[in-house]
Amino acid sequence: MQKPDWNDLRIFLAVARTGQLARAGALLGVNGTTVARRVRRLESQLGGILFEQTREGQVLTEAGELLLLHVEAMAGAAGEIETVGGPVTSALTGTLRVSVAEGFGSWFLARHVPEFVAANPNLTLDLVANSGFLSVTKREADIAVMLSRPRTGALISGKLSDYTLQLFATREYLACRGIPRSSSDLADGHRFIGYIPDLIYAPELKYLDEVQPGLRPEIRSSSINAQYHLVASGSGIAVLPSFIGKVDPQLQVLLPDFRIVRSFWLVTHKDTHQLARVRAGREWIVDMARRHRSALVAE
């Protein structure tokens, strides 16, 4: 197999980082046709397809991700040689897609995004925060923050942080219905809010029996954000993550000694774990969880 030309690898790196042939060409001072031709030549030399064409531009294939890992290391080494005696700068480009649980993404991680994008102004961040997760195994996301540790797949995972859940209601609701003094009081004259049983996407969200065996919600939603708004409107009592419920001063914690503890797990693919953008995103999330642990874990 013919050894790839470094200039072709530089073009490959530019396409991987920008996601478009024309943008890569503009970055390198050549036209898009030249970029496309050099990428095809590289694919021919390596015997594999490096990019898939989509409506948004070029997306790396599995072979492309593997090559990117090595080329970024080469580019980093070359950059260090070129900057001996001066500061080594980082200019991450491309797209970093992070899949997180709806509540964690909306109420915790989103508030810390400005710090990350300020440090990486040329990197596009996709924060996918919904009920369910994209698959890191299938390359739907670069990083996932999940509710349990995956047991299969070519993945690298580690515990990010514990988090607590507590019972919350508005003061107005409690003034009308009374303050429960024990978990058994919750089934007597109180309206409970929770998940729709057949739409729960993770077993870790099945926690009502831990509150009181047999407790069933009268108002149900598949969305933790909707559950928060239902509580905030005075509709009833719900179990909410402390990092959601304690943000709202109108909500009151019930049964203060009662806590449910769950964990977040940080997951990446073993083939892309060391890519510069993935490494930067991973370090940012870990740092945010460490620095703001008191928001995740109620004392």
Whether 77 shows a pLDDT value over 70: the answer reads no
Please tell me the predicted confidence (pLDDT) of residue 125. Answer: 93
* Sequence ranges of the domains in the chain: 6-82, 96-299
Whether 85 shows a pLDDT value over 80: the answer reads no
Q: For residue 140, which phi and psi values (nearest 5 degrees)?
A: -75, -25
Average pLDDT over residues 2-6: 75
Please tell me the predicted confidence (pLDDT) of residue 87. Answer: 39
- DSSP states of the chain as a string? -PPPPHHHHHHHHHHHHHSSHHHHHHHHTS-HHHHHHHHHHHHHHHTS--EEEETTEEEE-HHHHHHHHHHHHHHHHHHHHHTTTSPPP----EEEEEEEEHHIIIIIIGGGHHHHHHH-TTEEEEEEEESS---TTTTS-SEEEESS---SSSEEEEEEEEEEEEEEEEHHHHHHH---SSGGGGGSS--EEE--GGG--SGGG--HHHHSTT---SEE-S-HHHHHHHHHTTS-EEEEEHHHHTT-TTEEEESTT--EEEEEEEEEETTTTTSHHHHHHHHHHHHHHHHTHHHHS--
Q: In the CATH scheme, what is the code of domain 6-82?
A: 1.10.10.10
Mean pLDDT of the chain, nearest integer: 88
Whether 80 shows a pLDDT value over 80: the answer reads no
Average pLDDT over residues 218-236: 96
Whether 61 shows a pLDDT value over 90: the answer reads no
The more confidently predicted of residues 68 and 169 is 169
Instruction: Give the pTM.
Output: 0.74
Please tell me the predicted confidence (pLDDT) of residue 100. Answer: 95
89 band by pLDDT with thresholds 50, 70 and 90: very low
Average pLDDT over residues 193-221: 92
Whether 169 shows a pLDDT value over 80: the answer reads yes
- CATH class of domain segment(s) 96-299: alpha beta
Whether 238 shows a pLDDT value over 90: the answer reads yes
Please tell me the predicted confidence (pLDDT) of residue 180. Answer: 92
79 band by pLDDT with thresholds 50, 70 and 90: low
83 band by pLDDT with thresholds 50, 70 and 90: very low
Whether 3 shows a pLDDT value over 80: the answer reads no
Query: Of 106-110, 185-189, 231-235, where does mean pLDDT reach its minimum?
Result: 185-189
pLDDT tens-digit readout, 252-292: 999 999 999 999 999 999 888 888 889 999 999 999 999 99
* C-alpha distances out from residue 37 to 33, 191, 205, Å: 6, 65, 51
The token duo for 82 is: 């070129």
